[in-house]
């Protein structure tokens, strides 16, 4: 009886926690000697990104090429996305609600000034993945943003930025080293 009550309590707590982060949970037990950990899936809805749709998809693909502990995927029809991406006439910005969740605005003001749309997309997605602005900064730093100048078209995170994102999401996925653990994919 106590174990049934405990199991229902744990299930209810997990369901409530995942509802707060806006996702569904899928749990699986890894084998003790299996060191591979599935990436946390973060979905995005770019249906309102207008002319920036290809740049948004490329920015997400760049993050997927760059890190292992998180994967950005377009949201499936009828599902709620972790990230909403919108086009507007202002300056690009990201409003995060929690790690992996928020709203990105791809602002036409920066594009009209000559900034690269893929760099903008990748930079703003970096905020959703937990990275702050690092201004001023060189073009090699994605999170230097506009301080790198209009001529900077580099959409790739540098090694420190990749490492920070891996750390942000790695802590969500792994248990003690060498111990069997349960991984959660939230989408």
Residues designated catalytic: 124
Rounded-to-integer distance, Cα 148 and Cα 168, Å: 25
Exposure of 26 in the CB half-sphere (CA atoms within 13 A): 7
DSSP state of 142: G
Omega before 158 within 30 of 0, i.e. cis:
no
**Coil, strand, or helix at residue 105?**
strand
Specify which residues 72 forms β-bridges with. Answer: 42
The answer to whether the beta carbons of residues 52 and 81 sit under 8 Å apart is: no
């Amino acid at each position: 009886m106590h174990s049934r009550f405990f199991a229902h309590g744990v299930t209810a707590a997990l369901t409530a926690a995942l509802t707060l982060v806006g996702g569904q949970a899928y749990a699986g037990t890894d084998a003790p000697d299996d060191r591979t950990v599935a990436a946390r899936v973060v979905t995005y809805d770019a249906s309102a990104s207008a002319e920036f749709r290809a740049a948004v998809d490329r920015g997400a693909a760049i993050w997927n090429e760059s890190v292992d502990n998180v994967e950005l995927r377009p949201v499936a029809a009828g599902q709620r996305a972790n990230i909403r991406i919108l086009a507007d006439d202002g300056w690009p910005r990201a409003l995060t609600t929690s790690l992996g969740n928020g709203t990105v605005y791809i602002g036409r003001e920066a594009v009209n000034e000559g900034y690269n749309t893929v760099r903008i997309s990748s930079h703003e997605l970096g905020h959703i993945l937990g990275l702050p602005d690092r201004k001023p900064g060189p073009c090699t730093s994605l999170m230097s943003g506009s301080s790198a100048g209009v001529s900077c078209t580099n959409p790739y995170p540098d090694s420190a930025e990749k490492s920070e994102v891996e750390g942000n999401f790695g802590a969500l996925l792994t248990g003690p080293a060498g111990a069997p653990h349960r991984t959660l994919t939230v989408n």
